[in-house]
């Protein structure tokens, strides 16, 4: 199995500017999107659900910090959407935050970079490596094994593509590809200051790639 996210991050999150968030709420809330694959074999329906409290940008008690969700109506799986706002533009201009205290400077985010994520064109923050280090420490850029996953995948030279190893170690086998890797049981990166609480949302909010 191949994934294009950090294997220690168990979900997928996206962030949008507060301007985009309010547009989603005003124009697209509760709309449904019909998806059909190019070959017609896969059909899905997705619902955009926007929190009516998106105008409130303070964390509060932490129980209502998700701004919107993109939901697969077939099985209930969803992607969290959180907004970024300049909470104090007068005293701290250019400092952006979501309700879960993830802080970024404008220069960390813009201009955004284009990338491919699971075969689809996507945008990620400009200084994504700094954001990853701030969030997960230096190990986020140097760890090559984590709980049965290895990177880069065999036959693929780029980073941030992880492959599942065989349960007992070597050989690591993917469809159409063979490779051998030893398992070391190395612990993966942890968030700086992570005390095991995420305030009701998933970890990893550096743009699209979690």
Output Rg (C-alpha) for the chain, integer angstroms.
Answer: 19
| CA–CA separation, 98 and 16 (whole Å) | 10
Query: In angstroms, how far is CA 139 from the centroid of its own chain?
Result: 17
Q: For the chain, first and last CA: distance in Å?
A: 18
The CA distances from residue 192 to 101, 167, 189, in Å, are 13, 30, 9
SS3 state of residue 100: coil
Look at residue 180 in the predicted model and tell me its pLDDT: 35
Look at residue 151 in the predicted model and tell me its pLDDT: 72
pTM: 0.68
Any idea which residue has 């547009």 for tokens?
23
Query: How many other C-beta atoms can be found within 10 angstroms of the C-beta atom of residue 113?
Result: 13
What residues contact 85, with CB distance under 8 A and at least 6 apart? Answer: 17, 18, 57, 96, 97, 98
Look at residue 177 in the predicted model and tell me its pLDDT: 40
Per-residue pLDDT of the chain (210 residues; tens, 9 = 90+): 445 566 666 677 899 999 999 999 999 999 999 999 999 999 999 999 999 999 999 898 988 899 999 999 999 999 999 999 998 999 999 999 999 999 999 999 999 999 988 778 999 999 998 998 888 888 777 777 777 777 766 555 555 566 776 554 444 444 334 333 333 334 455 555 443 334 444 333 334 433
């Amino acid at each position: 199995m191949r994934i294009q996210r950090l294997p220690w991050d168990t979900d997928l999150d996206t962030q949008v500017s507060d301007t985009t968030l309010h547009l989603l709420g005003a124009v697209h809330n509760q709309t449904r999107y019909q998806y059909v694959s190019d070959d017609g074999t896969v059909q899905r329906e997705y619902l955009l659900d926007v929190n009516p409290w998106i105008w409130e940008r303070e964390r509060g008690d932490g129980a209502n910090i998700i701004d919107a969700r993109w939901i697969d109506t077939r099985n209930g799986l969803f992607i969290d959407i959180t907004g970024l706002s300049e909470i104090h533009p007068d005293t701290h201009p250019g400092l952006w935050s979501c309700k879960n205290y993830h802080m970024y400077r404008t220069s960390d985010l813009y201009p955004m970079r284009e990338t491919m994520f699971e075969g689809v064109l996507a945008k990620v923050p400009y200084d994504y490596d700094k954001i990853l280090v701030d969030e997960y420490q230096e190990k986020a850029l140097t760890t090559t094994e984590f709980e049965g996953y290895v990177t880069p995948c065999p036959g693929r030279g780029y980073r941030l593509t992880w492959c599942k190893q065989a349960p007992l170690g070597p050989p690591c086998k993917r469809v159409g590809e063979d490779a051998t890797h030893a398992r070391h049981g190395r612990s993966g990166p942890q968030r700086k200051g992570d005390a095991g609480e995420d305030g009701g949302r998933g970890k990893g909010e550096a743009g699209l790639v979690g």
